[in-house]
């Protein structure tokens, strides 16, 4: 319904836009839509997959995604699984990020547990939310997906708790700078960022000039004077330790991308290396000076003794959460510890904020001497997993994990769900250049189905070997539908479903015989046929009920070649758990203090 004043206003708007566009064009760069600017930045960050679901406020942007020559839309079954997948993708695809696209309110809130987990475990994920037009937002229109009381900031407020950086786009001319800002925060701080994209901005034209300068991953530089001081202190302590030094690698060695620097350090010095659970595979577990997993009082006695008796511990990227430390049972005095972190360093009791390890580690490596021949001869515990000789035919936890150890190959991606899997796998040395994926701090059961999808896509991108998932029956029920998306994308993971009738990790924490720890029994081996493999040609499923059956399957070459998607239901006893889980659960159970003292 056009009126005289409206028409002339509209004409004015059109004229101003043309003026603006021509001025922008004068900088010589091609104008680009806001949506494509964002995709261009993602492409620069080596993103090839975008996770999420369509929803009416993101469909316009989805057109651009679908038409993009390099970035593929994954199309998940639900938003929580999509966030899990973006997380898994980012963990495997180094120097890239995970990206999830959801819709205003209903989509983004469904994903928020996945974003929080990525925040917690320091995984760079960008959460793009398609939101109503700026006009609708200003009017606080009572749209579907709103809370019915006019609030348009509630989802942003929720998101702020779980992201390092947020950009709420309102104008095209600020969009590029805002996009760059949150992406930079995301990659330098290795935590999730949040970006809202209103429908009316997606196709607005802006300058592409900024794209010529790639985003920087570099953290802020260390203050030189402080750094020099810290370096001297470190070298002094190392020398005082007279080669009785141990290196302990943990989560942030991986998450903050200093594996190369760490490897230089250990190669030069020759010090023994151990790993916390969250640092597993930061260093090759086949390295001859690598001694295995240190996890406080529940470590193998050899490892515990070697680590805790060292005169000095170089702790790289530690994250001392309960499950990562045997319930806080590190017995390592601060006086014998130097901690390296992405944004600070601790030398015994002194803290040095702003001195980050990516700069510091190479300087340390340069200053330290290789350890003496004598020191190099001191044996490191032999980190192997011996398959126990058990009389019966039952697939016990104690037999299963070392046996799986014989199956893994270099460059495999090995994913372990929170539960018997994440604890059982700890004692198994993984092959060279393999990638270990687990969520030991956040611990959201079911996470690994989505993260396996993302990890497998990334693994295919960068030419890794097989993707192998271990998940309990209880956990699989939370997120099962994402198996369908794996089939649709032609992925070929091997999924071991540990069928032991329930939430085993919960049983060991509390309520071992309680009904609330039971679950429905599903036909696990029929799942893939129902969730997309209609003809039965894309996948293969198996049940193994005893040691012989599992051994035979693992030796089967076509199984090992993983030429289809494969699901293996492993029948295991209900009340059996890996040693590490039993011990951890006992400790955690005590601190939960259910019984009033």
**Residues recognised as catalytic:** 56, 79, 144-145, 443, 473, 500, 502, 506
Query: With binding defined as CB under 8 A, does residue 442 bind a copy of itself?
Result: yes
Neighbour count for residue 397 (Cβ, 10 Å): 22
C-alpha separations of 447 from 322, 415, 566 in Å = 19, 10, 19
Residue 185 known to bind ligand: no
Q: Which residues contact 157 (CB under 8 A, 6 or more apart)?
A: none
Question: What residues pair up with 273 in beta bridges, in sequence order?
Answer: 247, 290
Report in angstroms how near the CB of residue 366 gets to a copy of itself at its nearest: 31
Smallest Cα–Cα separation from 411: which of 291, 293, 281? Answer: 281
According to DSSP, residue 521 is labeled P
d(CA 346, CA 332): 14
Residue 329 C-beta: closest distance to a copy of itself, Å: 13
- Contact between 542 and a copy of itself by CB under 8 A: the answer reads no
Site string for a copy of itself, 35-54 (x = CB under 8 A): ------------------xx
**Residues with Cβ within 8 Å of residue 490, at least 6 apart in sequence:** 538
The β-bridge partners of 245 are 312
Comparing C-alpha atoms, which of 124, 368, 331 is closest to residue 248?
331
Q: How far is the CB of 227 from a copy of itself (least distance, A)?
A: 24
Binds a copy of itself (CB under 8 A): choice among 170, 297, 477, 551: 477
Q: What is the largest CA-CA distance in the chain?
A: 93
Of 402 and 532, the one with the shorter C-beta distance to a copy of itself is: 532
Shortest distance in whole angstroms from residue 191 CB to a copy of itself: 10
User: Which one of the spans 358-366, 370-378, 383-391, 509-517 is the region binding a copy of itself (CB under 8 A)?
Assistant: 509-517
Q: Which residues from 69-98 bind a copy of itself, rule CB under 8 A? A: 73, 75, 77-78, 80
Is 500 one of the annotated binding-site residues?
yes
Tell me whether residue 121 or residue 427 sits nearer to a copy of itself (CB atom): 121
Residue closer to a copy of itself by CB (options 212, 513) is: 513
Closest CB to a copy of itself among residues 284, 422: 422
Note whether 452 binds a copy of itself by CB under 8 A: no
Distance from C-alpha of 156 to C-alpha of 168, rounded to nearest angstrom: 8
Looking only at residues 521 through 540 of this chain, which bind a copy of itself when binding is defined by CB under 8 A?
521-523, 526-527, 529-532, 534
Kindly state the smallest distance separating residue 146's Cβ from a copy of itself, in Å. Answer: 7
The stretch near a copy of itself (CB under 8 A) out of 146-154, 298-306, 384-392, 461-469 is 146-154
Q: Which of 200, 226, 396, 543 binds a copy of itself (CB under 8 A)?
A: 200
Q: Could you tell me the smallest distance in angstroms from the CB atom of residue 568 to a copy of itself?
A: 16
202 binds a copy of itself (CB under 8 A): yes
Cβ proximity to a copy of itself: between 83 and 246 the closer is 83
Is there binding between residue 575 and a copy of itself (CB under 8 A)?
Answer: no
| CA pair distance 167, 196, nearest whole angstrom | 6
As a whole number of angstroms, the distance between CA 135 and CA 137 comes to 5
Q: Does 401 bind a copy of itself (CB under 8 A)?
A: no
Q: Is 158 a binder of a copy of itself (CB under 8 A)?
A: yes
Cβ-based neighbour number of residue 532 at 10 Å: 17
Q: Which of residues 98-127 bind a copy of itself (CB under 8 A)?
A: 105-106, 109-110, 112-113, 116-117, 119-122
CA atoms of 394 and 301, how far apart (whole Å): 27
Contact between 173 and 204 under an 8 Å Cβ cutoff? The reply is no
Q: State in angstroms the smallest separation of the CB of 153 from a copy of itself.
A: 9
Range in contact with a copy of itself (rule: CB under 8 A) among 221-229, 364-372, 498-506, 574-582: 498-506
Helices assigned H by DSSP within 101-167: 106-120, 134-139, 154-160
**Is 302 annotated as belonging to a binding site?**
no
**Could you say which residues in the range 347-386 bind a copy of itself, by CB under 8 A?**
none
CA dist., res. 2 & res. 6, Å (int)? 6
Q: Binding residue for a copy of itself (CB under 8 A) from 6, 66, 171, 305?
A: 66
Q: Is 488 in the site for a copy of itself (CB under 8 A)?
A: yes
Stretch 312-351: interaction string toward a copy of itself, x if CB under 8 A: -------xxxxx----x-----------------------
Q: Determine the angle formed by the axes of helices 447-462 and 106-120, rounding to 10 degrees.
A: 70
Rg (C-alpha) for the chain, rounded Å, is: 26
Considering the rule CB under 8 A, would residue 423 count as an interface residue with a copy of itself?
A: no
| Cβ 253 vs Cβ 190: under 8 Å | no
**Secondary structure element (H or E) that encloses residue 316, with its range:** strand 312-316
**Closer residue to a copy of itself in complex, CB, 103/397:** 103
Q: How far is CA 222 from CA 351, 359, 482, in A?
A: 14, 7, 43
Q: Which of 60, 88, 270, 454 binds a copy of itself (CB under 8 A)?
A: 60
Interaction between residue 29 and a copy of itself (CB under 8 A): no
Among 388, 355, 115, which residue's Cα sits nearest to residue 227? 355
Stretch of 384-392, 401-409, 552-560, 586-594 contacting a copy of itself, by CB under 8 A? 586-594
Pick from 363, 258, 360: which is nearest to 318 by CA?
258
Of 391 and 595, nearer to a copy of itself (C-beta) is 595
Q: Strand, helix or coil at 346? A: strand
Please give the full DSSP string across 534-575, using - where no structure is assigned: TTS-SEEEEEE-SHHHHHHHHH-HHHHHT-SEEEEEEE--TT
CA neighbours closer than 13 Å in the CB half-sphere of residue 434: 24
Q: Which residues are annotated as a binding site for Mg(2+)?
A: 473, 500, 502
Q: Which residues are annotated binding-site positions?
A: 473, 500, 502
């Amino acid at each position: 319904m056009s009126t005289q004043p409206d028409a002339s206003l509209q004409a004015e708007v059109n004229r101003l836009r043309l003026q603006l566009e021509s001025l922008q064009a004068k900088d010589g760069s091609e104008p680009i839509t806001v949506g494509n600017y964002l995709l261009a930045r993602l492409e620069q960050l080596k993103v090839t997959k975008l996770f999420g679901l369509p929803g009416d406020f993101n469909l316009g942007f989805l057109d651009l995604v679908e038409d993009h020559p390099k970035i593929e839309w994954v199309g998940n079954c639900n938003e929580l699984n999509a966030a899990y997948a973006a997380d898994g993708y980012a963990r495997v695809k180094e120097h890239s990020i995970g990206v999830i696209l959801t819709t205003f309110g209903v989509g983004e809130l469904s994903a928020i547990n996945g974003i929080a987990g990525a925040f917690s475990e320091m995984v760079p994920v960008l959460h793009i939310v398609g939101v109503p037009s700026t006009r609708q937002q200003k009017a606080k229109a009572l749209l579907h997906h709103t809370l019915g009381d006019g609030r348009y900031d509630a989802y942003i407020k929720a998101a702020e708790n779980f992201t390092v950086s947020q950009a709420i786009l309102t104008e095209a001319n600020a969009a590029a700078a805002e996009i760059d800002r949150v992406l930079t925060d995301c990659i330098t701080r290795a935590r999730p960022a949040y970006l809202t994209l209103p429908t009316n901005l997606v196709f607005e034209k802006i300058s592409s000039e900024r794209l010529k300068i790639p985003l920087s991953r570099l953290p802020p530089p260390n203050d030189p004077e402080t750094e020099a001081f810290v370096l001297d202190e470190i070298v002094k302590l190392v020398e005082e330790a007279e080669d009785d030094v141990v290196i302990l690698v943990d989560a942030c060695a991986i998450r903050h991308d200093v594996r190369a620097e760490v490897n230089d350090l250990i190669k030069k010095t020759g010090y023994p290396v151990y790993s916390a659970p969250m640092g597993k595979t930061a260093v090759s577990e086949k390295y001859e000076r690598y001694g295995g997993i240190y996890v406080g009082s529940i470590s193998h006695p050899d490892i515990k003794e070697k680590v805790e008796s060292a005169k000095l511990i170089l702790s790289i990227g530690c994250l001392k959460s309960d499950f990562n430390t045997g319930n806080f049972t590190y017995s390592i005095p601060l006086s014998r510890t130097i901690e390296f972190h992405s944004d600070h360093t601790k030398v015994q009791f002194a803290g040095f904020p702003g001195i980050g390890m990516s700069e510091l580690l190479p300087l340390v490596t340069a200053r330290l001497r290789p350890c003496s021949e004598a020191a190099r001869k001191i044996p490191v515990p032999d980190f192997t997993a011996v398959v126990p000789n058990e009389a019966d035919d039952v697939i016990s936890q104690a037999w299963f994990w070392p046996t799986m150890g014989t199956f893994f190959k270099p460059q495999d991606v090995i994913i372990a769900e929170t539960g018997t899997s994440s604890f059982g796998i700890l004692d198994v040395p993984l092959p060279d250049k393999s990638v270990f994926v687990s969520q030991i701090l956040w611990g959201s059961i079911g996470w690994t189905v989505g993260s396996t999808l993302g990890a497998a896509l990334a693994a295919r991108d960068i030419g890794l070997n097989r993707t192998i998932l271990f998940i309990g029956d209880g956990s699989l029920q939370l997120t099962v539908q994402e198996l369908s998306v794996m089939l649709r994308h032609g992925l070929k993971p091997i999924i071991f479903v540990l069928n032991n009738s329930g939430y085993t990790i919960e049983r060991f924490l509390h309520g071992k015989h309680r009904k609330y720890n039971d679950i429905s029994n599903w036909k696990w081996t029929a799942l893939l046929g129902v969730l997309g493999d209609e003809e039965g040609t894309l996948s293969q499923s198996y049940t193994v009920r005893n040691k012989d059956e599992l051994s035979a399957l693992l030796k089967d070459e076509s199984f090992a070649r993983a030429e289809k998607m494969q699901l293996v239901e492993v029948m295991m006893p209900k009340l059996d758990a890996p040693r590490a889980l039993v011990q951890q659960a006992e400790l955690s159970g005590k601190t939960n203090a259910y019984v009033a003292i």
